[in-house]
Structure 1
C-alpha cells in the first residue's frame, strides 16, 4: 500500500523527468538551431516496411519519430530503430538524419551488450558511436576497417573484442540511411 502511494505521488515527476531526458538525448542526436523545433510523430511501420523501426510498446505496428522543422519546412528527422543482431540481443538506437541524408548523430536507447565490451556503443562510455556523424550512404563503405572496400573512401573502427556489436550497429545505420529517402522526399512538418 505504501509503495502504491509513493508511486502515485511521484508518477508525474517521473514522467516529466523522462520527457526531459528524452529531449536532451534527441537534441544530442540532432542539434537544433534556435529557429528549429522537434515535432513528434507516429509512423505506421506498414507504410515503411524496409525501415528497421523500433516498435512502440503500445502498438507494435507503430514507431516514434521526430521531425526537425524550421518555419514548417522539414530539415531532417530522428528515427527510433532496432537491430536484432547484437551479440546479446536487440540494440535500440535514435538516429538523426538531415535532409541531405547525412547522419547528424546517434544515441543508444537500450541494449544488452556485454559490460566493458559491447556497451562501449554508449556515448558516455566511449566516443565510438560519434564516428558516424556527418556520413551519408555514399561517403563510406559501411564496413569495419579491416574489411575496407577500396571503392569507397571510409570504413569504420570496430570496438575491440565487440566485433558483432560493431557490425550490428553499422549494418542497421546503413539500412536506415538506404531506406530513409521516402521520409526526406515528403515535408512532414507542414502536416504536423
Structure 2
C-alpha cells in the first residue's frame, strides 16, 4: 500500500509539473504570437496607407500625422476615430479613415477609405476580414482588382441608388458565388462618404483648412445610408 501511495504521489507530481510547463509554454507562445500578429497588422496597415496615397502625392509623414474625427454610427464606431492626413507644403490634400463593414458574410470587414477634401475617393483597401477563401476574399488586392473600382468615385458618382452591386441594381460587380462580401464593402464605403460630407466643416476645422461652400446638399437617400438587406448568395 505504501508503495502504491508513493507511486500515486509521484504520478501526481509529474502531472502537475507537466501541466505547469505546458501552461507556461502556451502562455509564452500566445504572447509572442500576439506580438507578431500586431506587428504584421501594423505593417499591413502602413502598406495600405501608402497604396491609397502614394509617397509621391504628399510630403509629410503619413504614418504619424493623425487627427481625431467625431464619433459617428456611419463608421460603426461609438468613439472618436483616428484618421491619417496627407499634406503637401503644409496643406491637407487627403484623409484616410478606418471604416468597418459590419455585415460581411463571416463578420466585420475592416477597411481604409481615402478621400480628398472634395469628397472624392483616392482609394480603398481591406485591412482585415474573415470572408470565405476563394469567394468573398476577392475584396483583397492580392486576389483581384475589384477594390480599385472605388477610386475616383463620390456620392454623386454613381447616384445614391446605384451604390450597390449589379445584382441589386448598382454599378459595382459582385463575385460569382459571393454577393454579400462586395455588397457590404460598397455600402460601408458609401457610408464613409456620407460621414465625410456630414462632417466636412468639422473636418476642415480639425485640419485647419478654410471651409469651402458645399456643392450639393445631402439627399434623403444619402442621409438614410441605404442600409442593405441581408442576403446569402
Under a length normalisation based on structure 2, what TM-score does the superposition of the two structures give?
0.64
**Where does structure 1 differ by over 4 angstroms across 4 or more consecutive aligned residues?**
1-5, 13-20
* Deviation of 1:85 (Å): 0.8
Mark the structure with the bigger radius of gyration.
2
Distance 1:81 1:15, change over 3 A: closer
Counterpart in the other structure of 1:152: none
Distance 1:112 1:4, change over 3 A: closer
Matched, 1:28 2:74: no
Matched, 1:80 2:104: no
Under a length normalisation based on structure 1, what TM-score does the superposition of the two structures give?
0.76
Distance 1:74 1:51, change over 3 A: farther
Counterpart in the other structure of 2:152: 134
Counterpart in the other structure of 2:130: 112
Query: Is the 8 Å Cα contact of residues 94 and 106 (structure 1) preserved in structure 2?
Result: yes
User: Where does structure 1 lack aligned partners over 5 or more consecutive residues?
Assistant: 150-154
Distance 1:187 1:75, change over 3 A: farther
Q: Deviations over 1:53-112 (max 9, x none)?
A: 4x5xxxx62322112222332212111111111111111111111112111111111111
Query: Is the 8 Å Cα contact of residues 76 and 184 (structure 1) preserved in structure 2?
Result: no
Q: How many residues align?
A: 176
Question: As a proportion of its length, which structure holds more helix?
Answer: 2
* Deviation of 1:163 (Å): 0.5
Among 156, 165, 171, the alignment partner of 1:144 is 165
Question: As a proportion of its length, which structure holds more strand?
Answer: 1
Q: Secondary structure at the match of 2:110?
A: strand
**CA-atom RMSD in angstroms:** 2.9
Q: Deviations over 1:2-42 (max 9, x none)?
A: 8859x68xx6x987765444322111122342535421223
Q: Secondary structure at the match of 1:116?
A: coil
* Deviation of 1:118 (Å): 0.3
Q: Which structure exhibits the higher relative contact order, with contacts defined as CA atoms closer than 8 Å and separated by 6 or more residues?
A: 1
Q: Secondary structure at the match of 2:207?
A: helix
Distance 1:127 1:181, change over 3 A: same
**1-side partners of 2:182 and 2:38: how far apart?**
32
